[in-house]
Amino acid sequence: MRPKIPLSFTVLVAVILVWAFYTALAWSGVVDVGSDAALLAAFITGWVGVLVFAILGAFLLGMYASHRILSLGDITPFEEEMLRMKEDMTAVRHELKLIRKNIKGLEADLSEETGAVKEAGVWKPEDRKEHPLDVK
Residue 55 covered by a domain:
no
Q: What is the pLDDT of residue 11?
A: 93
Taking the CA atoms of 80, 81, 82 and 88 in sequence, report the sign of the dihedral they define.
Answer: positive
Residue 108 covered by a domain:
yes
Q: Is the pLDDT of residue 2 over 90?
A: no
List CB contacts of 109: < 8 A, sequence separation 6 or more: none
Q: How far is 37 from 26, CA to CA, in rounded Å?
A: 12
Q: Write out pLDDT tens, residues 74-103.
A: 777 888 899 999 999 999 999 999 999 988
Distances (CA, A) of 22 to 15, 16, 83, 85, 95: 10, 10, 58, 60, 74
Residue 45's pLDDT band, with cuts at 50, 70 and 90, is: confident
Q: How far is 76 from 71, CA to CA, in rounded Å?
A: 7
Domain count, the chain: 1
pTM score of the predicted model? 0.38
Residue 91 covered by a domain:
yes
Residue 92 covered by a domain:
yes
Residue 100 covered by a domain:
yes
Residue 4 covered by a domain:
no
Q: Strand, coil or helix: what is 3? A: coil
Residue 16 covered by a domain:
no
Give the domain range for residue 100.
75-112
Rounded to the nearest angstrom, the gap between the alpha carbon of residue 136 and the centroid of all alpha carbons in its chain is 68
DSSP state of 4: P
Residue 134 covered by a domain:
no
Higher pLDDT, 114 or 133: 133
